[in-house]
Chains A and B, each alone.
Chain A
Amino acid sequence: MITSISLTALAQITLGFPLVVLASTALVAWLGRRKHPVLAERLSGWITFISSLFLLLVSIGMMLSGKNVAYFDFFTVRFRLDALSIFMILLINVVAFAASWNSISYLAFVHPVPQRQWWQQGVWFHVLINLFHFTMLLVPLADNLIVIWIAIELTTVGSAFLIVYEGKKSSWDATWKYLIITSTGIVLALLGTIFLANSLPQEVIIQEQSNRLLDWSYLLSQRAILNKQFVWFAFLFALLGYGTKAGLAPMHTWLPDGHGEAPSPVSALLSGVLLKASLYAVLRFYTLTNAVLGDAYRDWTSYTLLIAGLLSLLTATPFILKDNPFKRVLAYHSLEHMGIIVFGLGMGGVIAVSGAILHMLNHAITKALMFLAYGNLLKRYEKAGASIKGALRIMPYSGSLLTLGGLALVGTPPFNIFMSELIILWGSVSRFIDGSQPEHPDYALPIAIVAIALFVGSTTLIFYGLMNHLKKIVLDKPDKEIPRESFTWSAIGPLLFLFVLMLALGVWIAPPLARLVSDSANIVLNLAN
């Protein structure tokens, strides 16, 4: 067993190491940009791949440590690990590893466009990926809510350059929408954080006089003295603000454009990780708000999330049924699954919340697989100037993994999404049939029945919609003959890695992961103390 000191060291590595990698790739790109751009691109690609593997192993080490809490100070800012942040770090590193692996093959296919800007050169791609990875890791590591805000805001900078990497007209359009909508949201999230700062009594502020005042753990310890009205407003603004970045309806409109236009490894990171990192911030506010407002108001926060979840789910459904480009369909699927996660959180109870947290990981893995597999298809078919049909025949590896990923995404057993959706549904129902649960108000049961019916109805329609899209892609007759795909590790390896995880999590949740999920649910529901 790794001791708690080691957990602190692992946390420090998770903060410091990506910075070193970022600096190294930037140096390699800078030195090689003129005379040896191809060599510099490959070198920074391999540095990124190996470092992301190392960070994945570090996060597995965190999970296996058996300890949940560690903290350290950097200058005057506190960084803190608990089960929820370890879970998030693991999620981020799983997807970042697969995306950085796949981006080696992705870059080999991107044709140079004349008059490219510096950030659209291959040598800088990995620098931006590392910047994006680092800022996302900063979110779960930080205890201070302003630092979390800064980290989420900085993810926008790295990701915006990545979305526009291919430099198409539509990419600029998508980046514009992404920046305007998410900046608007992030302003509201900071306003929420300001409201939270105002909730502290003046005497406490004068006594403490440090950055700790806005540490999540400190605020939670001071829950009894926080101004309830300010905390409630803070929650609403944080939900609106971070919810925009998390792609929740009705602030989701950047999502299909951003995910659709970004290079596939970036789409995997956006959909798999960025949305969850923003939701993580919402969870911190949610826990704090429930702790401050007490059980009497818990229903209000839960119903707010439930409405947000159902709205996202219902908004996504018609767009998945429509004949849209497949990457946009996948983006709407992200909206659907964010809706499912928030639905589970809104239903409340340890089981449903555990299911929602597990679903964050499951969706990240499956969606990353889908984007990377479809990215492989896109590159080959675009090069041949053909529309994407008959992928099972022309691209047997990527096509079959895309099909299996699609089946998983719509909740087919024995894959991971089925498992977590089942847990969410079971948790939602069991709250009302389990006699050990506290009494519910009269309106709770009808609301739950309607919500569960809408959930089941939407997911069934979405099942039909995605299968329809997949059928065309993998089974229809191709327009013209395209050379068959051969196995390459950088293109297929990450897909296999994600597929194994997808299948494994569908049939068995390893005890350390189960403990991490259950501890995370306890933190969200404020049952940990």
Chain B
Amino acid sequence: MTLFQVLVTLGELFLLVTAYQITTRAEILQVIRAYRLQSFVLTVAAVLIAILDPETGGSRRLEALATSGTLGAIALIAALPLALALFIPWIQARATVYEPEKGRLFWQLTTEEKRLAQSIWLEQRHPIPGRTGFVFLLLVLAAFAIVFLGIDIEIDEKIGISVSLALHLAGLYNTISRKDILSQVIGVLTMDQGLYLAIVKIVNIPVPATLFVIALYFYTIITIVILFLVIPQLRHATGTINLDEIVEKSDLRG
């Protein structure tokens, strides 16, 4: 492995560290912070993977990148986690304090609104079961076992795909096990990060990779619908972000 490949691999493995933080942190603010860090790391990893030359294991020359068409695709891929890293605290705070009567889709949160959001987040601090770290470890091991035992490819590709699969499993676990809707949606977004990574790994196929990137952008529409519309409306309709309370108040049974 070249130094460049080692850097990429370290970046990928660091994504697992942030996924661990997301899974084991009890406070919503800490979960959001860990997710932001993960998004920044993914942005850097995506750029590094894009400029990695598969032939030599070193970095590609800029003109080679431009002619292969990967530069545009990678810029588009990197833009997504970067945008989420920058805006996720504001989006989540907005979802927590949004009132439909105000009728504003976008607005600058006042200091009071930010404080209110953070106090609601603190109220929703649910203790994380002791087994959570162990479950996370099991999921990561399962992902690595599936890829290392099941697919015959180069070692750096194996690591990348294993990390991607582990992010999917960890995200899924968070989506299922979390007690508030904000952390639950962070679980879905963690799965997205796994997708980004998997797509970056095949970005050396310029044309279909572009189509995959377009698919990711379309997927973002759903994320926006969830974050901007459904969470605020659901919280407004039920008066809480706590899933147990939402289920308790729900008429949807049987």
Q: Residues of A with Cβ closer than 8 Å to B?
A: 76-77, 115, 117, 144, 146-147, 149-150, 153-154, 156-157, 160, 164, 169-170, 172-177, 179-180, 183-184, 186-188, 190-191, 193-194, 197-198, 205, 209-211, 213-214, 227, 229-230, 233, 256-257, 260-261, 319, 322-325, 328
Contact = CB atoms under 8 A, between A and B. Distances in A.
B57 to A, nearest CB: 15
Contacts of B251: 169-170, 173
B222 A157 contact: yes
A211 B73 CA distance: 14
Contacts of B181: 176
Which 9 interchain pairs have the tightest Cβ spacing? A324-B254, A169-B237, A170-B251, A146-B211, A172-B234, A187-B191, A229-B151, A194-B198, A257-B252
Contact of B188 (A153, A160, A183, A214): A183
Contacts of A176: 181, 226, 230-231, 234
Given A211-B207, A233-B150, A180 B219 contact: no
Given A180-B175, A187-B191, A173 B246 contact: yes
A191 B254 contact: no
Contact of B254 (A179, A229, A230, A322): A322
A191 B198 contact: yes
B212 A146 contact: yes
B211 A172 contact: no
Contacts, number: 143
Contacts of A183: 188, 219, 222-223, 226
A193 B198 CA distance: 11
Contacts of A157: 221-222, 225
Contacts of A117: 100
**Residue among A169, A205, A229 with max Cβ neighbours from chain B (10 Å):** A169
B51 to A, nearest CB: 19
Given A149-B215, A325-B254, A173 B226 contact: no
B238 interface: yes
B152 A229 contact: yes
B250 interface: yes
A153 B226 contact: no
Interface residues of B, number: 52
Contacts of B172: 184
B195 interface: yes
7 contacts: A115-B100, A172-B238, A173-B246, A176-B226, A191-B165, A191-B194, A210-B207
Nearest to A210: B207
B101 interface: yes
B177 to A, nearest CB: 13
A174 B252 contact: yes
Nearest to A260: B252
A118 to B, nearest CB: 11
Contacts of B22: none
Contact of B195 (A173, A191, A213, A325): A191
Contact of A187 (B146, B151, B192, B214): B192
Contacts of B226: 176, 179-180, 183
B218 interface: yes
A214 B205 CA distance: 11
A256 B199 contact: no
B218 A153 contact: yes
Contact of B215 (A76, A146, A174): A146
Nearest to B165: A191
A120 to B, nearest CB: 11
**Residue among B100, B152, B153, B234 with max Cβ neighbours from chain A (10 Å):** B234
Contact of B218 (A150, A169, A197): A150
A184 B199 contact: no
Nearest to A323: B254
A294 B231 CA distance: 46
A252 to B, nearest CB: 14
Interface string B85-105: 000000000000000110000
Nearest to B192: A187
Interface string B228-254: 001101100110000000100111101
A40 B241 CA distance: 38
A153 B237 CA distance: 26
Given A170-B250, A229-B151, A233-B151, A175 B168 contact: no
A172 B208 contact: no
Nearest to A322: B254
A324 B208 CA distance: 47
Contacts of A190: 195, 212, 215, 219
Interface in B128-181: 146, 150-153, 161, 164-165, 168, 171-172, 175, 181
A173 B235 CA distance: 10
B184 interface: yes
Given A146-B211, A194-B202, A180 B252 contact: no
